[in-house]
Amino acid sequence: MSRTVELNTVTKVEGHARLLLNIGANNEIRKCELESVEGSRYFEGMLKGRQYFEASEISSRICGICSCAHVAASIKAIEKALDVKVTPQTKVLRELFTVGERIRSHVTHMYFLSLPDYLGAESGLDLAKTHRKEVLQALKQIKLGNDIIVAFAGRDLHPVSATIGGFLHYPKQEQVSLVLARLKECLPDAVAGVKLFASLPYKDYPRKTQFCSLIEDGRYPLMEGDLYCSTGERFSEEKFDEFFKEYHESHSTANFVVKDGKSYMVGALARMNNNHQNLLPLAKKLVKESNIKFPNDNPFLIPFAQAVEVVHFMESSIQLLEGLQVKEEVPVKAQVKAGKGTGIIEVPRGLLVHEYEIDDKGLITKANIVTPTAQNLRLMEDSIRDYIPSVLKLNNDKLTIEIEKLIRSFDPCFSCSTHFLEVKFEGVRNARASDSKKDN
Amino acid sequence: MTKKLKVGFYGITGCAGCLLSVIFNENEILGVADKIDIVSFPFIKERQTDEPLDVIFLEGVVANNHDLETLKKLRAQTKVLVAMGACATTGGTPALRNFQDPHNFETLQYHKAIGIADIPPQPVDKFVHVDYYIEGCPPDKKEILGVINDFVLGKEPFMYSKPVCVECRKNKNPCLLEMGQPCLGPVTRGGCNAVCTNNGLVCWGCRGPASETDVTFKEMVSLLKVKGFDEKFTRDRLNTFAGWEHKEMEETGKNEPHS
């Protein structure tokens, strides 16, 4: 007899998604569809015809949890289009608010969305009754992340002071010192996080895939660098379109992205796999002390990779802040001209791409935004499909719970994934997309 | 001891920023969870309830039939519905596309999940009765706490009605409008402590129109024309967060948000 599993709301993920499975009498998987049911918001269409300096404010609204990331990527792309070169201080301050967001996003996922799965709790609030210390440590780190963003970008959600060419507002020196002190105070909590997440009973589910991230020589990447794939390819960010293809699946309102016709992974585990040698000393030591090795193919270990990144980025922020004297700089003025710019940065869930074309009046004529979850979606489906045989013995309810845990490990953001691809009706991109589907 | 309020936090199409704003009350959230009974919160809870609720805080905009079904179900389930954040209260950024050149969207073709169809994005009160509004993109997280506390105490939540300029001046910020920047402070509902202008960014109008202001929408357009911003620019700005409200107020000539 065949069985059908319909999970109408995947809980404890950002945004709205459902899962449809159909498993045949001989245990063949007839259907495995992870559907985003988020309404389509057409951000790329809304950006058309707007002034170049409006892009970051509007595209920030794509996502609450990674609004800083959208602002930073959007600004980077526009600055490239207009050849704006920013000061070293601007780069440092941008890194800091991006790291603040990284900390709060990872910690929210680790403790509130993922950890309850491993400690037998229904939610993070439920967890607070049995593991209050851990929940308080998590809230403290989330607050740290938010405080960093407030100090360097003005507001924790949908930041306000970052702009093209620099910043509209600067933190006072007391604020800078306070953030540094708070980072030092929270570092032990982050270390405890790595130890906790190293000790969880993860499913052993190695699954080979392509891991894609930015790469920088001698440095764990954040906002600069080349694109890198674990197959060994390295290329500049302008070539994103040549290596990655977007297409739609008829069953989802989100986009799918493939590399060489195959799914690939972005995010904390992909970054760790490609860059673990460049972790800062404490993070590196903690990995060594754990019995988890990188590179690693197990997607259940994404929360562990996030825990390590939290320590790494706290270390990197402490380095940036030691001795930092913030000067009030006037943002570098952009000279309006026609151009095209691609900005790719590493955000909590992986590579985020913003691309804009601007005309000689400064109006945006084309916008393309590729989010991490759009890139991971195809891989998530493939991973679920391959995972099902190991949980087939379970009844539908339990099987659903196990698959939901796998989905949650990926830290998907379905708000973000719901974005539109500009379909070229000549069929160039479409044809490639359908080709790539056949390949699989 | 009186019975704890049964409260749900839900989202329809949106960015989850408002739901995060609830959680990002890092020092207070566990205390809140003691004061009220958070029985539904799909973003962070595995199990939700279908039982009747006292209050639902709802984030998001109605952008497809799935949203609308969810909204109607939630409305029927709760005594009090609070629209939380710009998407829910005014349509927010997703509703901007109703007021833009349709050509912008022609090439954005999409297949929907089976049974899912777009609805022009609209605030929730276009479809169901809303009891209270928490404005803003994002809403002020302390304001959300304040409303929860009011419900616990049985108090009526307060809604700020003066324009952003009032708080901005109180904070002694230089006037960005006077400096020639396209600030929407004069027509926008405050209560945000002017967080954007405090940080040097013009007001984009995320909290929707202020009811207690002397400056009309049309006057705002002409004011910015003098500063060198054409009508399309200003209308685009006004529509970025509150297009439906501005349209209705322009049509009726009445400054009555959420009427």
Residue of chain B nearest A65, judged by CA positions: B17
Probe site for chain B from A14, A35, A36, A37 (most B CB atoms < 10 A) = A37
By Cβ distance, the residue of A64, A135, A250 closest to B17 is A64
- Kindly report the backbone phi and psi dihedral angles of residue B27, in degrees, each rounded to the nearest multiple of 5, phi listed first: -80, -20
Residue A384, pLDDT > 70, answer yes
Q: What does the pLDDT look like over A311-321, one tens digit per residue?
A: 999 999 999 99
| Residue A391 covered by a domain | yes
Q: Are A116 and B92 an interchain contact pair (Cβ–Cβ within 8 Å)? A: no
Q: Which of B26, B67, B101, B237 to mutate to test the interface with A (most CBs of A within 10 A)?
A: B26
Instruction: Say which residue, A427 or A29, is predicted with more confidence.
Output: A29
CB contact under 8 A, A123 and B195: no
In the block, which residue shows the tokens 């529509």?
Answer: B239
Span B187-226, pLDDT tens digits: 999 999 999 999 999 999 999 999 898 888 889 999 999 9
B23 CB neighbours in chain A (<8 A) are 108, 112, 142
Model pTM score: 0.94
Instruction: Return all residues near B79 (Cβ < 8 A) that are at least 6 apart.
Output: B52, B53, B54, B55
- What b/e readout covers B135-147, taking b as 16+ CB neighbours within 10 angstroms? bbbbbbbebbbeb
Contact B53, B77 (CB under 8 A): yes
Question: Which tens digits make up the pLDDT trace of B130-173?
Answer: 999 999 999 999 999 999 999 999 999 999 999 999 999 999 99
pLDDT of residue A421: 40
Which chain B residues are within 8 Å of A49, Cβ to Cβ?
100-101, 104, 236
- Band of residue A70 on the pLDDT scale cut at 50, 70, 90: very high
Q: Is residue A7 part of a domain?
A: yes
Query: What's residue B79's pLDDT?
Result: 98
The pLDDT assigned to A418 comes to 54
B104 vs A427, more confident: B104
User: Nearest C-alpha of chain A: how many angstroms from B220?
Assistant: 19
Q: Give a three-class secondary structure readout of chain A.
A: CCEEEEECCCCCCECCEEEEEEECCCCCEEEEEEEECCCCCCHHHHHCCCEHHHHHHHHHHHCCCCHHHHHHHHHHHHHHHCCCCCCHHHHHHHHHHHHHHHHHHHHHHHHHHHHHHHHCCCEHHHHHHHCHHHHHHHHHHHHHHHHHHHHHHCCCCCCCCEECCEECCCCCHHHHHHHHHHHHHHHHHHHHHHHHHHCCCCCCCCCCCEEEEEEECCECCCCCCEEEECCCCEECHHHHHHHEEEEECCCCCCEEEEECCECEECCHHHHHHHHHHHCCHHHHHHHHHCCCCCCCCCHHHHHHHHHHHHHHHHHHHHHHHCCCCCCCCCCCCCCCCCEEEEEEEEECCEEEEEEEEECCCCEEEEEEEECHHHHHHHHHHHHHHHHHHHHCCCCHHHHHHHHHHHHHHCCCEHHHHCCCCCCCCCCHHHHHHHHHHHHC
pLDDT of residue A11: 83
The average confidence (pLDDT) of chain A is 90
Burial B166-190 (b: 16+ CB within 10 A, else e): bbbeeeebeebbeeebbbbbbbbbb
Burial status of residue B106 (CB atoms within 10 A of its CB: 0-12, 13-18, 19 or more): exposed
Gap from A417 CA to chain B (nearest CA, Å): 11
Residues in chain B closer than 8 A to A251 (CB atoms): 111, 113-114
Structure-block tokens of residue A337: 């001209």
Residues of chain B with Cβ-Cβ distance to A154 below 8 Å are 195-196, 198-199, 201
Within a domain: A89: no
A171-185 burial, b at 16+ Cβ within 10 Å, e below that, comes to beeebbeebbebbee
Kindly report, residue by residue over B115-136, the tens digit of the pLDDT: 788 899 999 999 999 999 999 9
Report the residue from B97, B113, B200 with minimal CB separation from A46. B97
Decide if A402 is inside a domain.
yes
pLDDT-derived band at B105 (thresholds 50, 70, 90) equals: confident
Torsion of CA A218, A229, A320, A286, to 10 degrees: -80
**List of chain B residues whose C-beta atoms are within 8 Å of the C-beta of residue A161:** 199-201
Question: For residue A10, what pLDDT is reported?
Answer: 83
Q: What is the pLDDT of residues B44-94, one digit of tens each?
A: 998 899 999 999 999 999 999 999 999 999 999 999 999 999 999 999 999
Per-residue confidence at A435, pLDDT binned at 50, 70, 90? very low
The count of structural domains within chain A is 1
* Residue from the list B14, B104, B237 with its beta carbon closest to the beta carbon of A415: B14
A424 found inside a domain? yes
Which residues from B are below 8 Å from A425, CB to CB?
107
User: Nearest CA to A407 among A3, A12, A5?
Assistant: A12
pLDDT at A422: 37
pLDDT at B258: 84
The Cβ-side half-sphere exposure at A74, using a 13 Å CA radius, reads 29
Q: Which residues of A touch B91 (CB under 8 A)?
A: none
Instruction: Assign B25 a pLDDT band (cuts: 50, 70, 90).
Output: very high
CB contact (8 A) between residue B113 and residue A35: yes
CB pairs under 8 A between A and B: 210
Smallest CA–CA distance, residue B177 to chain A, in Å, is 15
Comparing CA positions, the residue from B177, B35, B15 lying closest to residue A62 is B15
pLDDT, residue A77, reads 98
What is the distance in angstroms between the Cα of A231 and the nearest Cα belonging to chain B? 32
Residue of A nearest to B193 (CA): A155
DSSP bridge pairs for A355:
A342, A368
Closest chain B residue by Cα to residue A331? B200
What pLDDT sits at residue A32? 86
**What span, in angstroms and rounded, lies between the C-alpha atoms of A277 and B258?**
56
pLDDT of B35 > 70? The answer is yes
Distance from CA of A124 to the nearest CA of B (A): 7
- Of A21-35, A157-171, A234-248, B207-221, give the lowest mean pLDDT range: A234-248
pLDDT score for A426 = 28
Name the minimum distance, in Å, from the CA of B254 to any CA of chain A.
28
Instruction: Specify the higher pLDDT residue, A141 or A378.
Output: A141
Nearest to B44 among A44, A54, A113 (CB): A113
Domain span holding position A392: 3-40+380-438
Per the domain annotation, does A399 fall within a domain? yes
CA-nearest residue of chain B to A146? B24
Radius of gyration of chain B (CA): 19
Mean pLDDT of A87-104: 98
pLDDT at residue number A419: 44
Q: Which chain A residue has the Cα nearest residue B96?
A: A46
Q: Rounded to whole angstroms, how far apart are CA atoms B26 and B39?
A: 19
The pLDDT tens digits for A337-351 are: 999 999 999 999 999
ipTM value: 0.96
Contact B59, B10 (CB under 8 A): yes
A427 has a pLDDT exceeding 70: no
